[in-house]
A and B are shown apart, each in its own frame.
Chain A
Amino acid sequence: MIRQPNSILGNRQLLVTMGKKGELFGFFYPGRDFAQHLEESQSCLYDGHRLIWSNDHEWHVSQRYFENTNIVNTELVHPCGLKMHIRDFIHTDQPIMVRNYSITSHGGFHGKFFYYSNFKIGEMQKKNSAFCDHDAGMLVQYWKDYHIGISSRPVFEEWQIGKALDTIWWTNAKYDMEDGELQNNREDIGNINNAIGWKLDIDAGSTAEITIFISAASTRLSLYGRIRDIRNQTMENMLNETQESGIKWLSRKTLLELKDLPGFESVRLELMEAFNRSLLTLSILNDPVRGSFVAAPEFDHDFEKSGGYGYCWNRDSSEIVIALLNAGYPEYCERFFRWCKKTQLPDGSWFQRYWLDGNAGSSWGNFSHSTQIDETGSTLFAMESYYSSLEPVLKREFLDRIWATVLSAAEYLMRRTPEGMHEPCICLWETYSGIFTYTNAAIYGGLVGAAQMAKDYNEMDLASRWLERAELIKQQTIKQLWLPEEGYFARGIAHNGRIDKDIDASILGTFVPFNMLSADDENERAMIHSMIGNIESRLRVRVNDHFGIKRYEDDTYIDGNPWVVTTLWLSKAMLSLAGSIKGVNDGTEKNEEWKIMTTEALEYIRWSLRGTTSAGMLPEQVNKHTGRPAWAIPLCWSCALMLENIVLLDGLK
């Protein structure tokens, strides 16, 4: 079932996605991509007559992160006078989610508090097994070496484990809750669900507090150990540690000033928050051991409306690690490129997408004509960006480690561009087959980067060959795909040989990030301006009091909404243009251009911020009708572009 989260939490072993009413949508352990262990997990109150689920429509809700931390506060207010405050966080060191509930009622409440879960341990709905060890205060469900345990403070008083979807329906924990009494069945197998419960008596004005721990482990023994340990820790200590850990990690970031932005004084705080939230989000969605990132927490597990997002794409991750590098976190580059070294295919390319452990992801890019060559270009381009940021000694060490990978990848790009432009493949959006401006730009960027590293590695012949090819690609792309009358690059050449003149925001890749066009060259600068103008006039969609940029004309994927990535891509191009202007305070035309570019870029950035969830998660898209965040939430690529935009903005003088 497709459910888009409003917030996420995680640590080194755990990733949890939550809805805006504090209901859990995903519980990933031990990887960010696999395994996702639950269908449903949320609280419920019983008032003596009926169940009041925490995701009922009657609740008024607000959900936010506690500033600069990975602690989520969810406030639920019910018309009957009930208030539920949930503080959710993940233990700093252990794969344990802590859910602290404070419940008040202005008229008093006498009933039950239930916590219901429908787990599918190991992504298996069948063959699961669960038991309640009430002496140990724990309910455990397991399949093979995945164990999930629920315990609580105070210890739950009643429980039920039953068949989730069977004809012996009266054992079903969800049904069992309806009369306000649980049957205390101690164990069951198959497709099962569970509930735990407490008697809840709240006098008017008083507060009841219940804390639930959801922990994961590979063995029953370690699960018991973890639960025992956490019960000995106080809530305040755990909260403080979580808070400190977030603040400490953020203290390493590039110091931002973000001052003197005319007309945008009020945005500074918003930008700071977005910067921090993007950093924290990316840290959660990264595999801290292997270095890979999921594009977004998986939410379309059955590929009902898309191909899924819980995989690592080299294109996205290359941009993410460079954004993190520029934000002050170079270690993500190091780990990701180690992962790239391991996952590179024998022909030198990278696969369409991977599981985070490096296994090939489910893919529609299994052939040379259906692969995405741009991903190999992006990877090389990012490697060189990282390499050029290193101190000389570290440069040498990095190059020694990565040279074979660079060589193999660059030669792959050479083989795929015998005539200058690349051989037919699939576009970056995984929509069209053919030859593409964006892909050519990515290959250009990759070869130029590889040539730079080859020079330093004293491989001058290779460097010359690769640079020569890069130059040929640039010439051919401009010659064949630049539309001089219209003033933009065609998307590419379709598989039938026809020039595809539809405008596609990805043509910005010729400027940012791949620098095929230079802002320092007058002609090329004019081309960049012209592209920007065309994209603005033909791809912008009015929503949330400004314009977002959709991917391309006649985009039908998820209703053709404007995307945060393409919008921030455009603003990044504008900020890069502004940043390339020298002498902006001389009162000339250039000064005017600087003002226009920065002002417009800021408007697009602000538009992107208006499209976040209430908790500040940047989505892939913004619904063009409602202005609300749409589809993949949060999307790492959107976060990376937000970081890049803010760093660029901060660098403007």
Chain B
Amino acid sequence: MVRDLCMFSKADEEAEVIWFRVAYRNTVHSEADITSLFAEKGLDMRFAYLDSLEDPSRGKYVIFTEVEKGKDVSSIVKELEELDVVLNVEFGISRNQVMQAVDFPLSLFGERAIILRARTFVDILKILNEHVQQAEGIQMLTGIKSGTIAVKLLREIININENNCFDLLKELFMAAGWGILEYDIDIHSLKGTITTRDCFISDSYKESEVPVCAYVSGFFAGFISEVTKRAVRVRESQCLTTGHISCEHIVSPAPEGTKIEHVLRRELD
């Protein structure tokens, strides 16, 4: 995953934010050479990220600095360009911008992405729950689609299989900011539980009479079904919003030919 965005607030009214995007040849010392030059020139680095995942021979180093107003950085840029490892330098001066975004559009797994507050997502869910029939089904189906696509995208960068899929799911869940996940699942029988702490939905939803994380259940179902090529049923049995300390999702194989009357009669339990 590549973080393609920087957002922060400029606190010092007398300073300017100057960003640099440095394309470099990837060696063991490339990043150190660039950072050293910034230190030499007295540029105060406030935020930076680098990425050489997509092409191991090249890297991209994005650096946000805070400098006194009016400082001429063109000579620094020239020196940067003269470094052996540097291929290209772009820079820009932010004038009173609160939020800085150098790379647009934001990208995740090579696909367009956006940043959304958890509360906004939950607002959508709440409106759905209030006004739309079978809102839980909609959320679950959306989650299934997301989980399925997540596996397909992961496959492009890693061999995902039954042995590593839950570890990858755990990493993905946290990296995406969705929560902290623990699992206890027998991969052969496809039975077990997934527990989430600080889940972004239940944490923002606050209180509810019923579990609210159908989207997450759906995501797990889509993810596991896509990896194992077996239809998996995932139900949320406990939820932060209903007074539990964490959310619990029960995983089981999807019964064949299940009808609602079977569920109502608890024939599947």
Report which A residues bind B (CB closer than 8 A).
125-126, 163, 165-172, 175, 183, 185, 187-191
Checking B134, B217, B235, B260 against A165 with a beta-carbon cut-off of 8 angstroms, the contacting residue is B134
Q: Please determine whether B231 and A125 come into contact, CB atoms closer than 8 angstroms.
A: no
Most buried by A among B137, B138, B217: B137
Which B residues are CB-close (under 8 A) to A171? 257-259
Q: Please determine whether B133 and A126 come into contact, CB atoms closer than 8 angstroms.
A: yes
Q: Which secondary structure characterizes the binding site on chain B?
A: helix
Q: Please determine whether A168 and B257 come into contact, CB atoms closer than 8 angstroms.
A: no
A118 to chain B, nearest CB (A): 13
Q: Please determine whether B137 and A170 come into contact, CB atoms closer than 8 angstroms.
A: no
CA distance A185 to B257 in the complex (A): 6
Q: Please determine whether A168 and B134 come into contact, CB atoms closer than 8 angstroms.
A: no
Q: Please provide the chain B residues from 222 to 259 with a CB less than 8 Å away from any CB of chain A in the complex.
A: 231, 233, 235, 254, 256-259
A168-B133 contact, Cβ under 8 Å, with A188-B259, A189-B260: no
Q: Please determine whether A169 and B140 come into contact, CB atoms closer than 8 angstroms.
A: yes
B253 to chain A, nearest CB (A): 10
Q: Please provide the chain B residues from 100 to 141 with a CB less than 8 Å away from any CB of chain A in the complex.
A: 133-134, 136-138, 140-141
Lowest 10 A-B CB distances belong to which pairs? Answer: A165-B137, A170-B231, A170-B254, A165-B134, A166-B137, A167-B140, A185-B257, A168-B258, A167-B137, A169-B144
Checking A163, A165, A183, A187 against B256 with a beta-carbon cut-off of 8 angstroms, the contacting residue is A183
Q: Please determine whether B214 and A167 come into contact, CB atoms closer than 8 angstroms.
A: yes
Q: Please provide the chain B residues from 193 to 235 with a CB less than 8 Å away from any CB of chain A in the complex.
A: 214, 217-218, 221, 231, 233, 235
Which A residues are CB-close (under 8 A) to B141? 165, 169, 172
Which A residues are CB-close (under 8 A) to B235? 167
Q: Does B39 contact A (CB under 8 A)?
A: no
Which A residues are CB-close (under 8 A) to B218? 169
CA distance A251 to B257 in the complex (A): 55
A188, closest chain B residue (CB): B259
28 A-B Cβ contacts within 8 A?
Answer: A125-B133, A165-B133, A165-B137, A165-B138, A165-B141, A166-B134, A166-B137, A166-B260, A167-B136, A167-B140, A167-B217, A167-B235, A168-B233, A168-B254, A169-B137, A169-B141, A170-B233, A171-B258, A171-B259, A172-B141, A175-B144, A183-B257, A187-B259, A188-B260, A189-B260, A190-B260, A191-B133, A191-B134
Most buried by B among A170, A187, A188: A170
CA distance A470 to B260 in the complex (A): 67
Interface size on B, residues (CB 8 A): 22
CA distance A189 to B264 in the complex (A): 13
CA distance A126 to B132 in the complex (A): 12
CA distance A185 to B255 in the complex (A): 12
CA distance A126 to B217 in the complex (A): 24
B198 to chain A, nearest CB (A): 24
A499 to chain B, nearest CB (A): 44
CA distance A190 to B231 in the complex (A): 22
B134, closest chain A residue (CB): A165
CA distance A190 to B260 in the complex (A): 9
Q: Does B158 contact A (CB under 8 A)?
A: no
CA distance A185 to B256 in the complex (A): 9
CA distance A187 to B262 in the complex (A): 13
Q: Besides A126-B133, A171-B258, A185-B257, 17 other CB < 8 A contacts? A: A125-B133, A163-B260, A165-B137, A165-B138, A167-B136, A167-B235, A168-B254, A168-B263, A169-B137, A169-B140, A169-B141, A170-B231, A170-B254, A171-B257, A183-B257, A185-B259, A189-B260
CA distance A643 to B144 in the complex (A): 52
Most buried by B among A165, A188, A191: A165
CA distance A125 to B217 in the complex (A): 24
Which B residues are CB-close (under 8 A) to A170? 231, 233, 254, 258
CA distance A167 to B260 in the complex (A): 10
CA distance A163 to B258 in the complex (A): 10
CA distance A126 to B133 in the complex (A): 9
A174, closest chain B residue (CB): B141
Which B residues are CB-close (under 8 A) to A169? 137, 140-141, 144, 218, 221
Q: Please provide the chain B residues from 127 to 178 with a CB less than 8 Å away from any CB of chain A in the complex.
A: 133-134, 136-138, 140-141, 144
CA distance A188 to B259 in the complex (A): 7
Which A residues are CB-close (under 8 A) to B136? 167
A116 to chain B, nearest CB (A): 15
CA distance A37 to B89 in the complex (A): 61
CA distance A543 to B138 in the complex (A): 41
Which A residues are CB-close (under 8 A) to B144? 169, 175
A166, closest chain B residue (CB): B137
